[in-house]
């Protein structure tokens, strides 16, 4: 029996004792009401034929309070039951949250970046990081090879690699999920261990004994330990056989010990011996850049009406100028003076006089330009690339050399971007660095011409009726006969020759 029922019955009993006129009605409570509410309702329905007004008012107020409390307790029970069910559901989510509150919820997904307007896919060439390894902000994680450049995928922030979503040699598209990593602070790399004092002293002693010409920074690793001495031939040492028995015994025991030690390590399998007269073949998949180069060169042969003209340049004056000023320029500008800057400057001057060599065909129109974006052919391990020197017509020798050197370093390091290679109105290719004597370069479409440089050879030539030895370079100009006629092409090459044989003319042009 609840406390509320007890209170209601006691109050009813006291009311009957004081006023016997009170009678209790007999209506049956509804099944939907709680026992507390039923008892309170019974008490509320007492009839009073002749009770005093004060007692009736106080009884009525008390009854209403009891009903309110009873109904409140019923609502509270319902709320408690609903809250209990809610806690049960929440506890299951809490357990899941504890299970998944690891770094997977914090992991970010890095997608394949935008590479260029004309590039929508590439080949995932290599992963530089593996799951579990930490990365710093902007550290390279993967390399994607395209038909023009290699694209580096860097970490957006410091963290730890959690999952790789693509394998090497897979074809990936722009916007595809590439890898997941958990951002957060990572431990700094441990400082390099200090060498023992004895080794430092030995190295210092060795440095003092070395001649000045051989003094170098000691950043190289320590030499590897010497190979173990070969096993001694016991029979050779003991020809008389006095200690032969003991020596054989020791040698056998030594062999057994070495075999026992070697069992735990798996030695690499030796390569099969090459059979005399064998004819093997190796097939390697062409990379995207090589495929693109092949496609572009064939496109050039099919599209352009290519023709090549040659000429010879006496390099005496240019070589003398370079020999006289290269040390001064190196000290003043920290740039090595080469021949490429002179050829580039001479070509820019000649292109102003023969604008058709700096033009291109666009549909049924010819596009002439009053600027020169010079494409410089650079050979890399993956193929030939042509980064562009912008506005070369306004540059000096030193500025051209500095820009070409910077682009060459980026090309060899695989750091060229699409902006470095886009455009180009005229190309210079220097095959002479590899020893080429003659050659017919292929036009880099949609350009109109390409100038080919070759190696310098001393040859006998006739000068003022005298046979003299001069350094001669053969140059070649391959041009698109759709844009340039023979007269214009030969005139262009002769002007380049004249500028280079007497560099002072470039100052007067």
Known catalytic residues?
Answer: 481, 485
Beta pairing class for 134-135 and 456-463: unpaired
CB 117 within 8 A of CB 419: no
DSSP conformation letters of 361-407: EETTEEE--SS--EEE-EE-SS-EE--EETTGGG--HHHHHHHHHHH
DSSP conformation letters of 323-351: HHHHHHHHHHHS----SHHHHHHHHHHHH
Q: And the tokens for 151?
A: 């694209």
Chain centroid to CA 113: 9
Tokens 């029996």 identify what position? Answer: 1
- Cα distance between residue 452 and residue 430, in whole Å: 6
CB 130 within 8 A of CB 191: no
- Cα distance between residue 484 and residue 487, in whole Å: 8
CB 21 within 8 A of CB 50: yes
> Before 446, cis peptide (omega within 30)?
yes
SS3 157: coil
Rg of the Cα atoms in the chain? 47
Q: What sign does the CA torsion over 129, 131, 132, 134 have? A: positive
Length of the chain in terms of residues written: 509
- Cα distance between residue 148 and residue 203, in whole Å: 47
Q: And the tokens for 333?
A: 């500008």
Exposed/middle/buried for residue 62 (C-beta within 10 Å: 0-12, 13-18, 19+): middle
DSSP conformation letters of 188-207: PPPPPPPPPHHHHHHHHHHH
Beta bridge partners of 480: 306
Which residue, 474, 84, 494, 137, is CA-closest to 315? Answer: 474
């Amino acid at each position: 029996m609840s406390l509320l029922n007890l209170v209601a019955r006691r109050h009813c009993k006291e009311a009957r004792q004081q006023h016997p006129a009170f009678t209790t009605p007999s209506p049956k409570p509804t099944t939907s009401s709680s026992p507390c509410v039923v008892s309170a309702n019974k008490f509320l329905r007492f009839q009073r034929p002749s009770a005093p007004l004060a007692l009736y008012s106080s009884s009525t107020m008390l009854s209403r309070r009891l009903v309110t409390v009873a109904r409140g307790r019923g609502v509270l029970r319902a709320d408690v039951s609903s809250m209990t069910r809610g806690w049960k559901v929440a506890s299951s989510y809490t357990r899941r949250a504890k299970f998944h509150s690891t770094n997977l919820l914090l992991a970010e997904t890095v997608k394949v970046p935008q590479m260029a307007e004309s590039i929508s896919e590439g080949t995932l060439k290599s992963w530089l990081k593996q799951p579990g390894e930490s990365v710093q902000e902007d550290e390279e994680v993967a390399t994607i090879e395209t038909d023009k450049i290699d694209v580096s995928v860097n970490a957006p922030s410091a963290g730890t690699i959690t999952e790789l979503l693509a394998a090497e040699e897979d074809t990936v598209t722009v916007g595809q999920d590439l890898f997941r990593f958990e951002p957060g602070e990572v431990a700094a790399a441990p400082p390099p261990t200090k060498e023992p004092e004895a080794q430092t002293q030995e190295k210092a002693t060795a440095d003092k004994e070395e001649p000045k010409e051989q003094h170098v920074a000691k950043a190289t690793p320590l030499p590897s330990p010497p190979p173990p001495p070969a096993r001694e031939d016991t029979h050779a040492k003991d020809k008389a056989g006095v200690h032969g028995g003991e020596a054989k015994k020791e040698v056998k025991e030594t062999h057994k010990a070495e075999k026992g030690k070697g069992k735990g390590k798996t030695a690499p399998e030796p390569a099969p011996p090459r059979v005399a007269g064998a004819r093997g073949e190796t097939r390697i998949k062409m990379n995207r850049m090589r495929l693109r180069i092949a496609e572009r060169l064939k496109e050039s042969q099919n599209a352009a009406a290519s023709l090549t003209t040659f000429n010879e340049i006496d390099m005496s004056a240019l070589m003398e100028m370079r020999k006289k000023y290269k040390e001064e320029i190196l000290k003043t500008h920290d740039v090595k003076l080469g021949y490429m800057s002179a050829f580039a400057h001479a070509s820019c001057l000649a292109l102003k006089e023969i604008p058709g060599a700096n033009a291109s065909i666009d549909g049924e129109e010819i596009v002439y330009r009053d600027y020169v974006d010079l494409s410089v052919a650079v050979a890399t391990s993956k193929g030939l690339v042509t980064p562009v020197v912008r506005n070369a017509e306004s540059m000096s020798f030193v500025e051209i050399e500095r820009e070409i050197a910077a682009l060459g370093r980026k090309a060899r390091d695989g750091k060229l971007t699409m902006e470095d290679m886009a455009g180009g109105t005229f190309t210079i290719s220097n095959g002479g660095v590899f020893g080429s004597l003659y050659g017919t370069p292929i036009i880099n479409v949609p350009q109109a011409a390409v100038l080919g440089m070759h190696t310098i050879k001393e040859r006998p030539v006739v000068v003022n009726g005298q046979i003299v030895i001069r350094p001669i370079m053969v140059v070649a100009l391959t041009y698109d006969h759709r844009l340039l006629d023979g007269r214009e092409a030969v005139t262009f090459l002769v002007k380049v020759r004249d500028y280079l044989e007497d560099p002072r003319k470039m100052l007067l042009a």
